[in-house]
Chains A and B, each alone.
Chain A
Amino acid sequence: MIQLVTPGRPLLEIDDLTVVYGEVPAVRDASLLVAEGELVALVGANGAGKTTILSAVSGILGLAGGRIVAGRVRVDGRDVTGWPAHRTVGLGVIHVPEGRDILGNLTVAENLDLGGFRRRDRTGLAAEIAAVYERFPVLGQRRRQPAAALSGGEQQMLAIARGLLGRPRLLLLDEPSMGLAPQLVSAVFAEIVRIRAAGTTVLLVEQNAHQALGLADRAYVLETSRIVLAGTGPELLRSERVVDAYLGMPDEMLPGSLSPDVSP
């Protein structure tokens, strides 16, 4: 496997991780590194194991019937392998999962408040929630409505905003652009750029390959439960293997910037 020299202190270190669901392996011998302040992308086809890696880090694997059978996950040097989610949240690991997990029966305001569930500074939290309403006026207007009434894009914004209220040191974002119309996708990516600029470390799973690789400092490519490639965003953007791993897309469908003019 290609190992790169990474800038900064490692915040997340995964060594030889193997995860199974029942008897079926979902991730095999995966090793990856995210340094403080980096934005790292995980790309690969459906079922390649991206979500499983995020779940193993945040500690919700068990809820889906998964199990770590080998390897180690460390956050800030601390071994968190097999920790339940409420403890990893305490370390500043915030996972915004695929499908957003908005609490639809609760109001928008209650959702945001729960984002800071483990925080002690209630006044600071209140100020930050006020700031969220300012940045996303729709959420402010609908603060007393059940979150289920929000549209898909609004729910995604709520999910990200709620995650940020947990003061993440490491933000795990799973498919934030999923199911969104193009203009909303742009808004979500603008938000990710802003989060990153504010200094938060981000591990991003995204099917939107151009955008994700364009934003990322570095990225890892997964293929059928293994990490097969690693590199900087621009490098991988030019890699034929990425497109192949991603979609199995035929040549005639490749647009210019992704055509195989550069050997991997």
Chain B
Amino acid sequence: MSIEALGRLWATYESVVQFVGLNAILGLSIYITLAAGQLSLGQAALMGIGAYTGALLTVTWGWPLPLSVLAGILTAGLAAGALGVVVLRLRGVFLAIATLGFGAMFGILVLNIPLTGGAEGLRPIPSETTTWQIYLVLALLAYGFWRFDGSTFGRSLFALRDDEAAASTLGIDPFRTNLIAFVASGMVAGLAGGLSAHLTRIITPRDFGFESALEILVFAIVGGTTGFAGPILGAALMTVLPEVLRFLPLEPGAVNLFVSGAILLLVILFLPGGLISLRRQGRAGSDPRASLGRRAGPDRAATLHEDPPTPLPTPLPTQPMTSPTTGRTPPPSPAGQPSLGPDPRRRSIPANAMPLLEVRGLARHFGGVRAVDGVDLDVRPGEIVGLIGPNGAGKTTVVNVLSGLVPPSGGSVRFGGIDVTGWPAHRMARLGLIRTYQNIRLFAHLSVLDNVLVGMTSRLPPTLGWSLLGRAGPHEAAARRRALELLADVGLEGVAGRPAAALAYGDRRRLEIARALAAEPRLLILDEPAAGMAGPEAGRVGTLLRTLADRGIAVLLIEHNVRLVMQTCDRVTVVNFGARIAEGVPADIARDPSVIEAYLGPTSVDR
């Protein structure tokens, strides 16, 4: 093919190449919100805000392209922020509907105010955007997103998508994080809008309507939302395809609609991860981290079953191990003493030590059911308190209320001397109240290592800035080291690169504990950590808890395995039908007839 022919080809298809780039930028804009699990259908309107702002500034005041595009970015970001404040309290389909409503409002607005030229739109806009500018911007964005996927912020978003409750009980503020994502997403959409206005030279309200919003969504869904490459890929495919289909002798509108509908349906039904999940599947076998995990995993697991866990390493120097409330330094951890064993006699916690957690008259009602109805509970630093009671006694509801997932109906909670009654989960977590879940709630799509790193989020400064510079940064590097140490403590460092969902049951429990420790708890609440474990394995959980308590961490243990509770705990609180029925040291509890009756029922049975 001659140079001349190539030139002709380029002249014909340059606009297709330009639109691939623009649409890829749009795909990236919705990717940010989808990464956090929010379906926003307002992207087209945000793009429109960027486009109209840029176009008006250029046409009316003759601003140069970079400045007017920048203004478009900022305006769209502001609009997205305002939208986010209103709609981010909503969930799922409500959020999608609200953003759709926002898009419709924008359409009506630009159609009816004189400034924007109504249905005729704005024209002519001086044409300035060039192909290489679009691709330069796209390359910069792609680089940014590549770093974003591995930053604290990126991880927080992915964690929110996988399990918002679990993320919030590790200190991630869902509203704030989502709002930042919304603003960032709006800014990228505004950028695309500014560029497109200067490319097409005409903008009309129709360009930013419902159909455009859907198109943008299709880019991201078809390409996949588990990595930044997905939306770029999807945009490329969905932009090029109609050009190819133009050669078919069919009604063009119908064909495009049919093809995009059919691809979308096939992807959602048969390839939920989008196009990039194909590549991921193909590559899994050769991923060095994955194979490392497989090789090292079983060995380590085997050793864990023989030895008790090694004592935890001293934590990062940034974490003071002195309890902030009491100033009491915990006894030095017994260095070089590998087996702590079940402590024969418990250290006495000074009875006058100020409780870290003070619960008074806690109540939570659901309709006519009083799940929790007046529970008192104290936990002091360095103390292990057991919370036991038969099924349905209200134990898990107590934990849900304490961790801020469920607001109490009555009573008070003080933590470290502060009244925290009714505080949301992420604030409780940031104060140092960290919990695990009875049914194990990991971030299934994140790697084992990333799960632990998410646990550290609230203790780390943002690392996105460093990431953008292409480096791990001092905090991120230290965090990774610490995360690997924590994984080593629970015997999972060999599988650090595997997705959490691929772990076996016991390993998932261990990972959840490592993740909780990564959040640097002052009070650790464990909801049935030994469920599904056999005797000796459960005993190792007890040993681990003792190690933690010796470091000054307060532990609240909810457990059905009464033997484990009796052996491990300093004090035990028993609840039944929502209320506390006994409280004391294990020996007394074991002899309390009301406890025995609660568990096993009255001894006399009418037959």
User: In the complex, which residue of chain A has the Cβ closest to the Cβ of B393?
Assistant: A179
State whether B391 touches A175 (Cβ < 8 A). yes
Q: For residue B464, which residues in chain A have a CB less than 8 angstroms away from its CB?
A: none
B-contact 0/1 string along A50-73, CB 8 Å cutoff? 000000000000000000000000
State whether A247 touches B607 (Cβ < 8 A). no
Q: How far is the CB of A67 from chain B (nearest CB, A)?
A: 16
State whether B566 touches A150 (Cβ < 8 A). no
State whether B605 touches A180 (Cβ < 8 A). no
Q: Which of B17-25, B183-191, B262-270, B527-535 contacts A (4 or more CB under 8 A)?
A: B527-535
In the complex, chain A residues 4-59 whose Cβ is within 8 Å of any chain B Cβ:
23-24, 45-47
State whether B368 touches A150 (Cβ < 8 A). yes
In the complex, chain A residues 219-253 whose Cβ is within 8 Å of any chain B Cβ:
224, 247-250, 252-253
Q: How far is the CB of A14 from chain B (nearest CB, A)?
A: 22
State whether B587 touches A247 (Cβ < 8 A). no
Q: Which of A85-93, A119-127, A202-210 contacts B (4 or more CB under 8 A)?
A: A202-210
State whether B367 touches A149 (Cβ < 8 A). yes
A215 to B577, CA, bound (A): 23
Contacts A148-B368, A250-B567; is A215 near B605 (CB within 8 Å)?
A: yes
State whether A210 touches B600 (Cβ < 8 A). yes
State whether B390 touches A181 (Cβ < 8 A). no
Any chain A CB within 8 A of the CB of B284?
no
State whether B590 touches A247 (Cβ < 8 A). no
Contacts A45-B560, A255-B596; is A214 near B392 (CB within 8 Å)?
A: no
Q: For residue B534, which residues in chain A have a CB less than 8 angstroms away from its CB?
A: 224
State whether B532 touches A182 (Cβ < 8 A). no
State whether B590 touches A149 (Cβ < 8 A). no
State whether A155 touches B369 (Cβ < 8 A). yes
State whether A185 touches B601 (Cβ < 8 A). yes
State whether A179 touches B391 (Cβ < 8 A). yes
A185 to B390, CA, bound (A): 13
B-contact 0/1 string along A146-172, CB 8 Å cutoff? 001111101100000000000000000
Any chain A CB within 8 A of the CB of B597?
yes
> How many contacting A-B pairs (Cβ < 8 A)?
108
In the complex, chain B residues 337-385 whose Cβ is within 8 Å of any chain A Cβ:
367-371
Any chain B CB within 8 A of the CB of A258?
yes
Partner of A46, one of B391, B393, B601, B603: B391
Any chain B CB within 8 A of the CB of A178?
yes
Any chain A CB within 8 A of the CB of B563?
yes
User: In the complex, which residue of chain A has the Cβ closest to the Cβ of B532?
Assistant: A47
Contacts A47-B532, A248-B535; is A207 near B602 (CB within 8 Å)?
A: no
Contacts A151-B369, A180-B577, A253-B596; is A207 near B391 (CB within 8 Å)?
A: yes
Any chain A CB within 8 A of the CB of B564?
yes
In the complex, chain B residues 392-428 whose Cβ is within 8 Å of any chain A Cβ:
392-394
Any chain B CB within 8 A of the CB of A77?
no
Partner of B562, one of A150, A181, A212, A247: A247
Residue of A148, A253, A256 with most chain B CB atoms under a 10 A cut-off? A253
Partner of A258, one of B578, B600, B606: B600
A-contact 0/1 string along B546-580, CB 8 Å cutoff? 00000000000000111110110000000001100
A209 to B531, CA, bound (A): 19
Any chain A CB within 8 A of the CB of B175?
no
Q: For residue A179, which residues in chain B have a CB less than 8 angstroms away from its CB?
A: 369, 371, 391-394, 577-578
Q: How far is the CB of A237 from chain B (nearest CB, A)?
A: 9
Contacts A181-B577, A224-B534, A250-B567; is A207 near B390 (CB within 8 Å)?
A: yes
A-contact 0/1 string along B91-102, CB 8 Å cutoff? 000000000000
A186 to B606, CA, bound (A): 10
Q: For residue A247, which residues in chain B have a CB less than 8 angstroms away from its CB?
A: 560-563, 599
A255 to B593, CA, bound (A): 9
Residue of B368, B595, B603 with most chain A CB atoms under a 10 A cut-off? B368
A46 to B561, CA, bound (A): 9
State whether B368 touches A209 (Cβ < 8 A). no
Q: How far is the CB of B495 from chain A (nearest CB, A)?
A: 15
Q: How far is the CB of A232 from chain B (nearest CB, A)?
A: 12
User: In the complex, which residue of chain B has the Cβ closest to the Cβ of A213?
Assistant: B605
Q: For residue A207, which residues in chain B have a CB less than 8 angstroms away from its CB?
A: 390-391, 599
Any chain A CB within 8 A of the CB of B258?
no
Q: For residue B392, which residues in chain A have a CB less than 8 angstroms away from its CB?
A: 175, 178-180
Partner of A24, one of B369, B505, B563, B590: B505
Contacts A179-B393, A181-B577, A209-B600; is A224 near B532 (CB within 8 Å)?
A: yes
Partner of B602, one of A24, A151, A155, A210: A210
User: In the complex, which residue of chain B has the Cβ closest to the Cβ of A212?
Assistant: B601
Q: For residue A248, which residues in chain B have a CB less than 8 angstroms away from its CB?
A: 535, 538, 560-564
Q: How far is the CB of B369 from chain A (nearest CB, A)?
A: 5
A177 to B368, CA, bound (A): 17
A152 to B504, CA, bound (A): 36
Any chain B CB within 8 A of the CB of A257?
yes
State whether B531 touches A46 (Cβ < 8 A). yes
Any chain A CB within 8 A of the CB of B591?
yes
User: In the complex, which residue of chain B has the Cβ closest to the Cβ of A249?
Assistant: B562
State whether A210 touches B368 (Cβ < 8 A). no
A-contact 0/1 string along B493-525, CB 8 Å cutoff? 000000000001100000000000000000000
Partner of B367, one of A148, A178, A209: A148
A181 to B601, CA, bound (A): 11
Partner of A250, one of B532, B563, B578: B563
B-contact 0/1 string along A182-204, CB 8 Å cutoff? 10011000000100000000000
Q: For residue B563, which residues in chain A have a CB less than 8 angstroms away from its CB?
A: 247-250
State whether B369 touches A257 (Cβ < 8 A). no
Q: How far is the CB of A211 from chain B (nearest CB, A)?
A: 4
State whether B603 touches A151 (Cβ < 8 A). no
Any chain B CB within 8 A of the CB of A137?
no
A250 to B595, CA, bound (A): 13
A104 to B505, CA, bound (A): 34
A24 to B501, CA, bound (A): 12
State whether B601 touches A210 (Cβ < 8 A). yes
State whether B600 touches A208 (Cβ < 8 A). yes
A24 to B563, CA, bound (A): 25
User: In the complex, which residue of chain A has the Cβ closest to the Cβ of B388?
Assistant: A247
Residue of B394, B567, B597 with most chain A CB atoms under a 10 A cut-off? B597
User: In the complex, which residue of chain A has the Cβ closest to the Cβ of B596?
Assistant: A255
Partner of B607, one of A175, A214, A249, A257: A214
State whether A211 touches B605 (Cβ < 8 A). yes
A-contact 0/1 string along B74-91, CB 8 Å cutoff? 000000000000000000
A104 to B599, CA, bound (A): 29
Q: How far is the CB of B151 from chain A (nearest CB, A)?
A: 30
Partner of A253, one of B369, B394, B560, B566: B566
A152 to B369, CA, bound (A): 5
Contacts A151-B369, A210-B601, A252-B587; is A47 near B607 (CB within 8 Å)?
A: no
Partner of A210, one of B390, B561, B590, B603: B603
A247 to B367, CA, bound (A): 31
A148 to B367, CA, bound (A): 6
Q: For residue A47, which residues in chain B have a CB less than 8 angstroms away from its CB?
A: 531-532
**Can you list 29 A-B contacts (CB < 8 A)?**
A24-B504, A45-B561, A46-B528, A149-B368, A151-B370, A178-B390, A179-B393, A182-B602, A185-B601, A207-B390, A207-B391, A207-B599, A208-B390, A209-B600, A210-B601, A210-B605, A211-B601, A215-B607, A247-B561, A248-B538, A248-B560, A248-B561, A248-B562, A248-B564, A250-B590, A252-B590, A253-B566, A253-B590, A253-B596
Given contacts A207-B391, A256-B603, 8 further A-B contacts (CB under 8 A): A104-B367, A148-B368, A152-B368, A181-B577, A208-B390, A210-B605, A248-B563, A253-B562
In order of increasing CB-CB distance, the 4 nearest A-B pairs are A179-B392, A214-B605, A178-B392, A248-B563
